[in-house]
Structure 1
Amino acid sequence: MALTGDILASYRGPGPVLRRRMAGTGDGRGEARALVTLMLACGLIFVGQWPRLSREAHLSGQELDMLVGGALLGWLFIAPLVLYGIAGISHVIARLFGGKATYLEARMALFWALLAAVPFWLLWGLVAGFIGAGAALNLTGLVAFVAFLALWLAGLYAVEFGDAA
């Protein structure tokens, strides 16, 4: 199924979509698939920051190049490292409660949730760029975070405990 179709299907049933995305990862390409998923999500979230950064540069008089460079460093170099750590910690915690997944499956649950929530993060960037600070931005950010968290926890539960969440 196409990536956009899988993203939409994740909101109806994240467990089956995650399993389908992970099918065939036993041939050694699983880690590459996880890394591509993570980098695609981080790259799209980085692009979603451009309207906000443009607004910030215009209002503050800062150089846009410097702001974009900082966001690039954060989203494409630092965030993946942090997310790998979070995935590992979440897997260890799940193992304490009887989880049966591998580290790869736990990573994929987190990375896929981030990618599936990207449409909300893109919307957040547009709201930040065109409307600015306020209730709309806060609500959009909250919806994006809750969508990510719900997809991640449902996917993690599905891989760790075998439930078709």
Structure 2
Amino acid sequence: MPVTQDIVATYRGPGKVVSRLLAAGPREDRLLAMLMAACVILFVARWPALARQAHLTGEELNMLLGGTLLATVFLFPLLLYFIAFLVGVIGKPLGWQGSGYAARLVLFWALLASTPLVLLNGLVAGFIGAGPGLTLVGVVWFAVFAWFWWRGMVAAHRYGAGVAA
């Protein structure tokens, strides 16, 4: 199924999509592509806010973009790999049946599937700026991301335990 259709399907049932992705077999190249796509979208989502900041403060836009590129596309993926590792390691003593691959897949997919809301957050930050609207969109994004991650972890646990999702 195309990624865009999987993203839409994730909003209806995150566990089903994760189960389908896990059933396709372990492919690290697919995980890296998901992660890098999500990080590039995160970078692009920051453009309106950075343009607003550069306009209002007189800062150099290219410098702001360069720092954001370094943070989101080069450093953030390393942090996400570390978080997925920690979740997998901490989950094992707690009875989680998923693999390290499943922990990475669930985290990276939750981030990629929630990127439409990240783009909305970027637009609100760029056109409206700080305020209750930006806070509301940020909270909604985080709640959706956390829901996708949680339901994905449950599906990965069931998949690892051999239980149908």
Structure 1 counterpart of 2:151, from 137, 149, 154: 154
Structure 1 counterpart of 2:137, from 132, 136, 140: 140
The secondary structure found in structure 2 opposite 1:11 is helix
Q: Give the 3 Å change call, closer, same or farther, for CA 60–98 of structure 1 in structure 2.
A: same
Segments of structure 2 that go 5 or more residues without pairing to the other structure are none
Encode CA deviations 1:2-28: one digit per residue, 9 max, x unaligned.
2111111111211111122233334xx
Encode CA deviations 1:63-88: one digit per residue, 9 max, x unaligned.
00000001100111110000001111
Contact 2:49 2:126 in 1 (8 A): yes
| Range that drifts further, 8-17 or 66-75 | 8-17
Aligned runs of 1:1-165 on 2, under 5 Å?
1-26=1-26, 30-162=27-159
* Aligned counterparts of 2:36 and 2:164: Cα–Cα separation in 1: 26
* Aligned counterparts of 2:93 and 2:134: Cα–Cα separation in 1: 37
- Root-mean-square deviation over aligned CA pairs: 1.4
* Aligned counterparts of 2:147 and 2:63: Cα–Cα separation in 1: 34
Runs of 4+ in 1 over 3 A off after TM superposition: 161-165
- The TM-score normalised by the length of structure 1 is 0.93
Encode CA deviations 1:64-115: one digit per residue, 9 max, x unaligned.
0000001100111110000001111111122112111111111000000000
What is the percent sequence identity of the aligned residues? 50
Contact 1:98 1:161 in 2 (8 A): no
Shift of 1:159: 0.4
Shift of 1:164: 6.3
Contact 1:16 1:164 in 2 (8 A): no
* Aligned counterparts of 2:100 and 2:30: Cα–Cα separation in 1: 14
* Aligned counterparts of 1:4 and 1:98: Cα–Cα separation in 2: 33
* Aligned counterparts of 2:117 and 2:24: Cα–Cα separation in 1: 29
Segments of structure 1 that go 5 or more residues without pairing to the other structure are none
Could you tell me which amino acid in structure 1 is paired with residue 56 of structure 2? L
* Aligned counterparts of 2:112 and 2:141: Cα–Cα separation in 1: 11
Shift of 1:161: 3.5
The secondary structure found in structure 1 opposite 2:12 is coil
